[in-house]
Amino acid sequence: MARSPEHITQRIAVICEAIGAWLDNEDGILGITVNRTATEGLFPRHDVMFMLDQIARTVTLEALQGWADRAAGTTPVPGPASEMPNVLCLHAGNLPLVGLQDIVATLLSGSVYYGKLSRKDPWLADGLLRVLRKRMPGQLGGWAVRLEDLDRAGAERVLFAGAETSVPEVQRRVRELGLASEKALFLPRTARFSMAWLADEDFPADNAQLGKLSRQLAGAMLRYEGRGCRSLALVVARRSLSDFAGNLTDAAEVFVRKNPPSHFRSPGVSYWRSYLNSTGKDVYDLGGQIITDDPELIGRDNVICWMRGDEDDVRRLVRQLGPKLQQVYVHSGQDAPASQDTADSLDTAASLDTVASQDTVAGSAHEAGMAFHPLAGVPGIRLAPLSEAQSPPIDWQPDGVDALSWLWKGYSP
Amino acid sequence: MHQSYTTWRNYLLNTDIPFSDKAWTVYRHQLEHQPVYRRFCDELPVKEGRNGDHRADADPDAIPLIPIQTFRDAAVRADYVEAPQAVFRSSGTTGMKRSTHEIADLRLYFDSCYRGFSQFYDPREFVLLSWLPGYLDNPESSLVAMIDHLVQRDGTGQSRFLPLDQPLAGVDLSTVSNMNTVKYLNKRRHRRSSGLLHANGEASEAPAKKRRIMLFGAAFGLLDLIDAGAPKLPADAIVVETGGMKTRRRELSKEELRGQLAEGFGLPSASVHSEYGMAEMCSQAWDTGKGSFRCPPWLRITVRDPENPLQALPPGEEGLIGIMDLANVHSLAFFLTQDRGVLFPDGSFRVLGRWDHAELRGCNFLAE
């Protein structure tokens, strides 16, 4: 693996120190913004605390260095004197701090960050950016919740969440406001959800192990109310849903008790539930979501599909779903790196010390184990351990694109 | 007790009765005689107003729409239908379960098609040439049945399905209205207007009206026809496309498709019309070159919120197209498609492709 140059290592140190200080509640910023986020009902407190826990675990010197080194192995690293571009990040998120990776990638690349913050997440990201600006003032251009309130950045790179087909509309809007240059490159993040593959051997005979599998599945499905692209929306398994539904609904009940969703069930879910019941399909409640064995409903909001099938079905579905699919999870038997059971006991500033002092997990710790999986190397399949579904390393690749390499591409070493 | 098929036909296709009266009547009828629909309504969390005791002038948008998948997953015939007179099945790719629409009263189906068509076109004005290569493989295609009926109703014998090997061979595009047509038309007019005989007892000589060509086909087939070197059509011809781009070519926008068809057949783009129908519907909507579809009086389109399909969206907002096809009284009259559409204040609507339900998942900048 290539070693990234010294100026990148120095940047990594600054970023890590800043994120550590933010997690340590420097100037009381994190405590205040967590409280505002929770009390305004933007995200449940347990989801915010879970995310902070993941950041503390994954944004480490080792993880960022590993990321930079891997990117340096594929893309020439711009030199310290290179004039790096302004980068516009259009954050839109259904989960707290969803744009963190884009922020870190932009700063790590040496570019100047401009951001449109998500309306659902105006406080947390703002707090983090303020702490970062104290340490890297030259790289923090500006940010706002409304596009119209942003400075005319004339960005040369734009990262945003949305379908490929939405690129022209996004281009039009940002160019109209002078936020991006005419020659700017756009990187849409197209993935919408993830799937899991469970072979026969993934269903252990041992009840304790079966319980662990159920808990991992429930966490992957229900964390962040199933909203993120890493959320599990489709399971292909050698066993039928009815065989496993009891274990799954039990695990979901425990999860929901500890992590109550912000709403019971959306009208859309009730609608599909009524339909499935009226036509005699298998359907089970999982918190605010439902799970069914009707493959026609794949991708619907808050509806999880369970298909009985084999690896050929996985390959077929990956081809069929294309860019909508983020990850294919496989059961590794490992526990999730984060303690979901304790997340709800954390309470804002008082508990932030605990969050910041969690053991760290290097970004790609599980990647090597995936290389020997029968589905490894199949085009379009991005494997990850089920236990990492909601705890990805900082350098995980939305749609298979590494943001750091993308930002470096085209700038002279 | 349900009414006879004849009574239903007369009632549903009666354009003097307001749509909402008929919609609520059909809704109550379906609750009583359509078991799947009844179970669906019973399962819905909101029960208020679901028993059908609405005022006749209440907005039919309050009627719940069941997912179109019901045609695939359940028998949709009303409980009094012993044996359907016809069965239509949707086209589908290999391995895909197809929708099945059992038609209890074929005459209601044909009447709905023909009278619906007649709301927008004068059938006596056209010679219908149909080019449906992919569909002719499917003997249970509702589209083929509908076109066949329109062809049969043209007593001149000139309307027809174009042969697959020589689609436009032998068709005199400049003068489709030959002498036989003129004689036929005159004879028919004479029969109908016997009170208009001249004093000498001869029928009035109606001018020999030339018939216009209506070339009807699936979009992909019509484009293939152009690629194969189809001749330009006479200036007064119209082309009616029925959608159906998937699996054959990349999907085109409506404007692109219209432009390519117009150019290919040498017509102004206003002469490219569209039909919106499907195996699950007994009625069709028509776009007569204005860029939006209109419905016959017994069909209504509603656009529903994808996040809450019980909620109708106001004109101008994009959502899922919902169908209220009262001619489906013996199957399922109220259902939600997977098509993306937008309604206009005048009740016309536009189809914008398939709705991607996954758009509601994950993160989306434009959705903010």
Higher pLDDT among residues B254 and B95, named by residue: B254
Residue B189 pLDDT: 40
Sign of CA dihedral A64, A69, A75, A77: positive
Q: Considering the domain boundaries, does residue B181 fall inside one? A: no
Average pLDDT over residues A320-330: 92
Q: Considering the domain boundaries, does residue B365 fall inside one? A: no
- Give me A149's structure tokens: 């309130």
Q: Per-residue pLDDT for A348 more than 60? A: no
Higher pLDDT among residues B258 and A346, named by residue: B258
Residue A97 near residue A124 (C-beta atoms within 8 A): yes
**Preferred mutation among B34, B355, B361 to probe A, highest tally of A CBs within 10 A:** B361
Q: Considering the domain boundaries, does residue B328 fall inside one? A: yes
Chain A contact set for B367 (CB, 8 A): 92, 162
Q: Per-residue pLDDT for A300 more than 50? A: yes
Q: What percent of chain B has pLDDT over 70?
A: 78
Residue B243 pLDDT: 78
Question: What is the C-alpha to C-alpha distance for residues B275 and B111, in angstroms, rounded to an integer?
Answer: 17
Question: What is the C-alpha to C-alpha distance for residues B360 and A301, in angstroms, rounded to an integer?
Answer: 6
Average pLDDT over residues A182-191: 90
Q: What's the structural domain count of chain B?
A: 1
Chain A contact set for B310 (CB, 8 A): 267, 271
Question: Are A189 and B73 inside 8 Å of each other by CB?
Answer: no
Least confident of A268-272, A360-364, B97-101, B296-300: A360-364
Domains (range + CATH), chain A? 6-191+401-408 (3.40.605.10), 193-388 (3.40.309)
Q: Distance of alpha carbon B207 from its chain centroid, rounded?
A: 33
The helix or strand, by DSSP H or E, that contains position A306, with its residue range, turns out to be strand A303-308
Question: What is the C-alpha to C-alpha distance for residues B21 and B28, in angstroms, rounded to an integer?
Answer: 11
Residue A135 near residue A109 (C-beta atoms within 8 A): no
Residue B290 near residue B51 (C-beta atoms within 8 A): no
Measure CB to CB from residue B363 to each of A93, A170, A281 and give the nearest one.
Answer: A93
Chain B contact set for A281 (CB, 8 A): 73
Judged by DSSP in three states, B337 sits in: strand
The helix or strand, by DSSP H or E, that contains position A195, with its residue range, turns out to be strand A193-198
CA distance A6 to chain B (A): 35
Residue B253 pLDDT: 79
- Give me B171's structure tokens: 């068709």
Question: Are A275 and B40 inside 8 Å of each other by CB?
Answer: yes
Q: Considering the domain boundaries, does residue B222 fall inside one? A: yes
Q: What's the domain range around B29?
A: 5-175+211-356
Q: Write the pLDDT tens digit of every residue in A123-143.
A: 999 999 999 999 999 999 999
Measure CB to CB from residue A274 to each of B44, B73, B359 and give the nearest one.
Answer: B44
Q: Write the pLDDT tens digit of every residue in B175-187.
A: 444 334 334 334 4
Question: Are B73 and A277 inside 8 Å of each other by CB?
Answer: no
Q: How many CB pairs under 8 A join A and B?
A: 122
Q: Per-residue pLDDT for B203 more than 50? A: no
- Which pLDDT band, with edges at 50, 70 and 90, does B173 fall under? low
Higher pLDDT among residues A370 and A252, named by residue: A252
Q: Distance of alpha carbon A402 from its chain centroid, rounded?
A: 13
- Give me B60's structure tokens: 């039919």
Least confident of A24-28, A260-264, A311-315, B345-349: A260-264
Question: Are A277 and B306 inside 8 Å of each other by CB?
Answer: no
Q: Is A324 on the interface with B (CB under 8 A)?
A: yes
Q: Per-residue pLDDT for A113 more than 50? A: yes
> Which chain B residue's Cα is nearest to A230?
B362
Q: Considering the domain boundaries, does residue B197 fall inside one? A: no
Residue A357 pLDDT: 36
Question: What is the C-alpha to C-alpha distance for residues A230 and A219, in angstroms, rounded to an integer?
Answer: 11
Residue A305 near residue A235 (C-beta atoms within 8 A): yes
Question: Are B364 and A92 inside 8 Å of each other by CB?
Answer: yes
Q: Per-residue pLDDT for A190 more than 60? A: yes
Residue B49 pLDDT: 55
Question: What is the C-alpha to C-alpha distance for residues A134 and B214, in angstroms, rounded to an integer?
Answer: 71
Question: What is the C-alpha to C-alpha distance for residues A142 and A156, in angstroms, rounded to an integer?
Answer: 15
Q: Write the pLDDT tens digit of every residue in A37-52.
A: 999 999 999 999 999 9
Of A73, A78, A148, A134, the closest CA to residue A106 belongs to A78
Residue A103 near residue A128 (C-beta atoms within 8 A): yes
Q: Write the pLDDT tens digit of every residue in B255-290.
A: 888 999 999 999 999 999 999 999 999 999 999 999
ipTM value, please give it.
Answer: 0.83
Contacts with B165 (C-beta within 8 Å, 6 or more apart), sequence order: none
Q: How long a stretch of residues is chain A?
A: 413
Q: Considering the domain boundaries, does residue B216 fall inside one? A: yes
Q: Is A192 on the interface with B (CB under 8 A)?
A: yes
Q: Write the pLDDT tens digit of every residue in B311-346.
A: 999 999 999 999 999 999 999 999 999 999 999 999
Q: What residue spans of A177-309 are helical by DSSP H? A: 207-222, 241-258, 267-278
Q: Considering the domain boundaries, does residue B106 fall inside one? A: yes
Q: Considering the domain boundaries, does residue B193 fall inside one? A: no
- E-strand ranges in chain B read 66-67, 86-89, 100-103, 126-131, 160-161, 212-217, 238-241, 272-276, 285-287, 299-305, 308-312, 318-325, 334-343, 349-354
Question: Are B310 and A279 inside 8 Å of each other by CB?
Answer: no
Distances, alpha carbon A126 to alpha carbons A25, A182, A228, B62, B135, in Å: 14, 28, 20, 43, 57
Question: What is the C-alpha to C-alpha distance for residues A34 and A24, in angstroms, rounded to an integer?
Answer: 13
Q: Write the pLDDT tens digit of every residue in A391-406.
A: 999 999 988 899 999 9
Question: Are A92 and B307 inside 8 Å of each other by CB?
Answer: no
Q: Per-residue pLDDT for B65 more than 50? A: yes
Chain B contact set for A297 (CB, 8 A): 357
Question: Are A192 and B308 inside 8 Å of each other by CB?
Answer: no
Residue B274 near residue B121 (C-beta atoms within 8 A): no
- Give me B293's structure tokens: 């579809």
Q: Distance of alpha carbon A1 from its chain centroid, rounded?
A: 25
Of A405, A364, A411, the closest CA to residue A108 belongs to A405
Q: What's B231's domain CATH number?
A: 3.40.50.12780
Of A406, A362, A399, the closest CA to residue A65 belongs to A362
A contact residues 104-163, partner B, Cβ 8 Å cutoff: 116, 118-120, 160-163
Q: Per-residue pLDDT for A92 more than 70? A: yes
